[in-house]
């Protein structure tokens, strides 16, 4: 233990001697968290809307007014023909068009089924799908209001209407920040811990101090633990600080247990730091270590469920995600944050993540050669 403490003190002195290192550990994650939190959002707002109201009745004008009242749509103009709609969408001046046909109001009052056409720019499939869902919601709300009028009740007497009552659990306001920000915190924790540990031993090789460590009676595991524990402590502190600031900036609330999340973050850091040390044992320069670390991080981010749900991936890619520790931590982070899940519900993710950390750390110790090649 004394030998590990000596290496730890040396590593701490080296970290705090370099001001840029402190900025990388504490300042950069805060800036990245703020930028990513505001920039990355699955919510669709201000979809550019054009309207072709060919009926121009009171009912059609009320329908158009309903579209302009919601923040998801931004009215950019009125047109008369589909040709004008095509030109506006082609020139990126509109994303969605609402076409209300002639006699729309009259047909609705007579009890027939009028048609409303919605044209959407499908280049961005995700935005188009969400925008269509919003449009369908506005149309349905307006139809329900119209059918609730006394004259329509008499016309539709004997017709039984079905009212759907929906309840949204865990995120009742459908806040995108409530889902994305915990993922961003996990992402930043991964980047910082892997980059720092991946370059630790490589830096010793480049500046020549590794040769001095070689002649000491230190064992493999003592040297690696002595170099990793400082990064483990600093990364854990960074995680807790970023987590609290993220809740304050984005006004989100963590439902679950903070000590439980801290324990799981500690285990996750063991896995990512171990992977970083393993990278440092197979590279000889800091540049090589950085490139290899980025290769692993891109894989972990894409296959970790940060942006794309794992369930939406092809079956063979879903199986590949089981070797990604970020997959498990991302699930647990969001479960604790939004559902308040206890440990018994998280064991299915906590156990494989812990096994991964033990295996990769053991591999790092075995791979490390206590001699200068």
Burial state string for 239-278 with b = 16 or more CB within 10 A and e = fewer than 16 = beebbeebbeebebebebeeebbeebbebbbbbbbbbbbb
Domains of the chain: 2-41+176-367 (no CATH), 47-155 (3.40.1710.10)
Which one, of 133, 102, 104, 107, lies nearest residue 118 by Cα? 133
Give the per-residue pLDDT at 373.
47
Positions in the chain short of pLDDT 70: 20, 41-42, 111, 113, 147-167, 210-216, 368-373
Angle at 322 between CA 130 and CA 254, to 5 degrees: 55
3-state secondary structure the chain: CHHHHHHHHHHHHHHHHCHHHHHHHHHHHHHHHHHHHHHCCCCCCCEEEEEEECCCCHHHHHHHHHHHHCCCEEEEEECCCHHHHHHHHHCCCCCEEEEECCCHHHHHHCCCCCCCEEEECCCCHHHHHHHHHHHHHHHHHHHHHHHCCHHHHHHCCCCCCCCCCCCCCCCCCCCHHHHHHHHHHHHHHHHHHHHHHHCHHHHHHHHCHHHHHHCCCCCHHHHHHHHHHHHHHHHHHHHHHHHHHHHHHHCCCCCCCHHHHHHHHHHHHHHHHHHHHHHHHCCCCHHHHHHHHHHHHHHHHHCCCCCCCHHHCCHHHHHHHHHCHHHHHHHHHHHHHHHCCCHHHHHHHHHHHHHHHHHHHHHHHHHCCCCCC
Q: What is the pLDDT of residues 289-332, one digit of tens each?
A: 888 988 999 899 889 988 888 888 899 999 999 999 999 999 99
Q: What is the pLDDT of residues 27-37, one digit of tens each?
A: 888 888 888 87
Give the per-residue pLDDT at 372.
44
Residue pair 333/183 in contact (Cβ under 8 Å)? The answer is: yes
The overall longest dimension of the chain from CA atoms, in Å, is: 96
Token output for 189: 């924790």
Distance CA 371, CA 218 (A): 12
Give the per-residue pLDDT at 108.
76
Give the per-residue pLDDT at 25.
75
């Amino acid at each position: 233990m004394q030998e590990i403490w000596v290496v730890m003190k040396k590593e701490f002195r080296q970290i705090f001697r370099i001001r840029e290192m402190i900025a990388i550990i504490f300042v950069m994650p805060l800036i990245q968290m703020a930028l990513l939190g505001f920039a990355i959002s699955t919510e669709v707002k201000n979809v550019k809307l054009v309207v072709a109201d060919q009926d121009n009745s009171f009912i059609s004008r009320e329908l158009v007014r309903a579209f302009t009242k919601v923040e998801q749509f931004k009215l950019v103009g009125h047109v008369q023909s589909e040709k004008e709609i095509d030109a506006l969408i082609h020139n990126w001046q509109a994303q969605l068009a609402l076409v209300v046909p002639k006699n729309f109001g009259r047909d609705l009052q007579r009890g027939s089924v009028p048609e409303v056409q919605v044209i959407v720019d499908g280049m961005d499939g995700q935005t188009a799908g969400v925008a269509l869902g919003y449009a369908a919601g506005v149309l349905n709300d307006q139809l329900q209001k119209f059918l609730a009028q006394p004259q329509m009740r008499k016309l539709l007497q004997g017709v039984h209407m079905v009212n759907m009552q929906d309840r949204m659990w865990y995120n009742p306001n459908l806040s995108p920040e409530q889902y994305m920000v915990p993922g961003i915190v996990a992402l930043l924790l991964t980047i910082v811990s892997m980059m720092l540990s991946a370059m630790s031993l490589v830096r010793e090789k480049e500046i020549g101090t590794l040769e001095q460590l070689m002649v000491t009676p230190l064992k493999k595991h003592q040297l690696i633990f002595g170099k990793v524990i400082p990064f483990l402590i600093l990364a854990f502190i960074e995680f807790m600080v970023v987590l609290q600031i993220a809740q304050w900036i984005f006004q989100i609330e963590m439902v679950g247990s903070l000590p439980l999340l801290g324990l799981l973050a500690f285990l996750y850091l063991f896995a990512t730091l171990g992977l970083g040390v393993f990278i440092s044992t197979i590279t000889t320069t800091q540049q090589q270590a950085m490139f290899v670390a980025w290769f692993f991080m891109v894989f972990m981010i894409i296959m970790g469920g940060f942006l794309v749900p794992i369930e939406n991936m092809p079956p063979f890619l879903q199986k590949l995600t089981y070797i990604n520790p970020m997959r498990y931590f991302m699930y647990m982070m969001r479960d604790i944050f939004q559902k308040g899940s206890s440990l018994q519900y998280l064991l299915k993710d906590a156990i494989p993540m812990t096994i991964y950390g033990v295996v990769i750390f053991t591999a790092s110790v075995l791979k490390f050669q206590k001699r200068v090649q």
